[in-house]
Structure 1
Amino acid sequence: MRSHPTKSDGHRAKRPPLAEILVTGGCGFIGREAVRQLTADGHGVRVLDNLAYAAAPVAEGAAVLIEGSVGDRDVLRRALEGVEGCVHLAGSPVLGDPRSDMTHDTEPFLAAADVLFSEAARAGVPVVYASSAAVYGAGQSARIAESGPTVPVNAHGAEKRALELTAERYAARDGIPSIGLRMFNVYGPGQSPKSPYCGVVRLFAEKIMTGAEAAIRGEGAQARDFVYVSDAARAIGLALALPLDGARVVNICTGQPVTILDVITRLEGATGKTLRRRQEPDPGTAVAVSVGDPALAKYLLGFTAEISFDDGVERMMRALAQGSA
């Protein structure tokens, strides 16, 4: 996999809007925002979603909504007919929390990924897909670059790393270009606190709004790189506009660490409420620091996160107060 830029990578001409794009998982948290932005940018969009984790039953702005699974080859083949690009955002089809440990069954997700890439190869369609910072595992004290080691510590990270390897295999064997967006902690309006993929910002926001108690493991010093959902979706559009070759991966991050205690402070400041806390021992299984290096995304995609964490929390809480998050 080639994850470092060549001299010409940062200066490629961008493609015009695509006549038709397939977005798998386009009714989900990131998917809905991606669909909204892609249609606003002039792309034709169709959505394939099984609605298991749908933010809403209909994808906003999508020309076509196809209800079905990525793993259903016949459905996927029809969905790919006539498209010029595919954005793969569909998550694991298995219920439960794939981020908790390694006991989560990854086989259905990987089988669906293989179907997706084989059908994309058959149709000659390049793929932009959502990977995750979870592929890095325990992380590093410094910003994590794409060349860093990938040693996932939970099933979600293992799924995403296997997805990257699937993309590599199809690029080498069938010449299907792809780019995996290693998204760090995405948050914002539209994220359901009931989803197994829901992050700490939205979960704590729910608890502070309802007066429920939040469990804080250890001292709350764990640091994360939080990316607002509109920034994550914008990165997808930039990746689609890049003429692809081979199989690449790129971090989608801010490069700025925010601790769990920082999250609580920002939420309390935005709401004027105090989060009820229950401190628990740190079992030592969580990643202590996970902060990305944004340099390659800036060079290759022209991507820099625009929404600061303070601004993002304010936007999310306004949406919650208005009943639209």
Structure 2
Amino acid sequence: MAGAIQHGGGLAAASARYGGRINDWLDLSTGINPCPPALPALDPRVWHRLPDRELEEEARFAARDFYGSGNILPLTVPGTQSAIQLLPRLLKPGKRAAILSPTYGEYGRSFALNAMPVDTISTLADISQDHGLVVVVNPNNPTGRMFEPGVLIDLAMAMRNWGGVLVVDEAFGDCQPQLSLVPEVEQHDNLVIFRSFGKFFGMAGVRLGFVIAGDAISQVFTEGLGPWAVSGPALALASNLLQGDTDTIRQQIARRSAGLARVLAGAGLQLAGSTPLFSLVEHAQAAVLHDHLCRDHILTRIFDYAPHWLRVGLTPNEDCDQRLAASLKTWMAKVGAQS
């Protein structure tokens, strides 16, 4: 059976190992906007009542306008993780799944737990007619690899010829809308797009995502999730924020991303890739650097399958940039003294 995947965000475990109060830690282990917008006032009824159709439709219409899905209403899901767990239902018997890797590990685990054949591939050229479902994360987590829309549309069209489904995870795509395939879904009934609410808006705790697909595929997810899958407060929050000032959010993320880039460059660290919400550092002693930062109560993300990688998320402000820079300066001085 596939083992559990290590993820970012484990502050409790880090605090237990390295000490310090959780609130004193600087969590850079996730790719989440560290400067979320202010919470809007919510009608008290959303806490009291089951989320009815009206509330769900308000969120879906707001998502349609935000993502640009045309006549297709995005389906609300309790985080894209819930949709990933239902992907095996889209794979036809006798076919294999393919996951463009390295990427988010839960995709492979989902198929493995269902005893379904899955290939980890390194290029789109590795896709064959044996693959009934292909997963591409664009922009990719953790490498930041990006594909232009035309490349993936050509793939979707080719896969349609043998009845294959293309799943494109755009969880980190809100800051680069020009890469999105959402406007293409109406013309391609074998295309499925995942979008995340929590990363861009900095509210991962809400556990909200969207699946954008044609009616037949959306129905598979609807049946798999069951009734009232998304809470009323999450739907109301999404309806409000998706219609709000998202340009300001993008600008704030851009400023924080630039701040992180300056800190990493100032420390002489080499990047293996990035998106506006995180940077991937490549260093032979990535695990040692991770440990050093933890001792300064700064949490980053390491990868068991790539021990030379360290993913660093955005800090919330310039003071935290300086805190990270100071810790990196201490480490670089230590490394220099040992060499």
| Same fold at TM > 0.5 | no
Q: Which TM class, normalised by the smaller chain length?
A: 0.3 to 0.5
Q: Please, what TM-score do these two structures have when normalized by structure 2?
A: 0.35
Greater RCO (Cα-Cα under 8 Å, separation 6 or more): 2
More helix by proportion, 1 or 2?
Answer: 2
Q: Please, what TM-score do these two structures have when normalized by structure 1?
A: 0.36
